């Protein structure tokens, strides 16, 4: 099954329309800077937190470069979850000069 992907600019637009974003990096990476509103579910914990990706509309998934988030999406689609990978991850988000927040909370 093909995994859907979007770029950082498309994610920014989707977030402006109320999209859900899940960050699958490690806690120390997330604390150092993440997209406002992103919920942290480290990749190794995705199997125990599949329900965190369920909801209205797609679950956008991000990591540092797009690799871990792609793996998470591959796993999630097996459960019928509309998971969309953010191509290029946080590196692409930062390259696009989009805003970051620091700390252990989504906002």
**Catalytic pick among 11, 19, 35, 63:** 63
The answer to whether 25 and 64 have CB atoms below 8 angstroms apart is: yes
73 is catalytic: no
Count each helix (H run) and each strand (E run) in the chain, helices first: 4, 5
In the three-class reduction of DSSP (H, G, I as helix; E, B as strand; rest coil), residue 65 is classed as: coil
Contact partners, residue 45, CB within 8 Å, separation at least 6: none
CA atoms of 14 and 84, how far apart (whole Å): 11
Residue 98: which of 1, 9, 20, 2 has the closest Cα?
9
Positions annotated as catalytic residues are 63
């Amino acid at each position: 099954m093909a995994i859907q992907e979007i770029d950082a600019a498309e994610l920014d637009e989707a977030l402006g329309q109320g999209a859900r974003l899940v960050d699958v990096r490690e806690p120390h990476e997330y604390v150092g800077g993440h997209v406002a509103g992103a919920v942290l579910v480290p990749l190794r914990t995705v199997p125990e937190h599949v329900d965190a990706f369920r909801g209205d509309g797609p679950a956008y998934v991000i990591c540092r470069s797009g690799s871990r988030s792609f793996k998470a999406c591959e796993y999630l689609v097996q459960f019928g979850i509309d998971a969309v990978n953010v191509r290029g991850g946080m590196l692409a988000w930062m390259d696009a000069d989009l805003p970051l927040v620091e700390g252990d909370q989504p906002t």
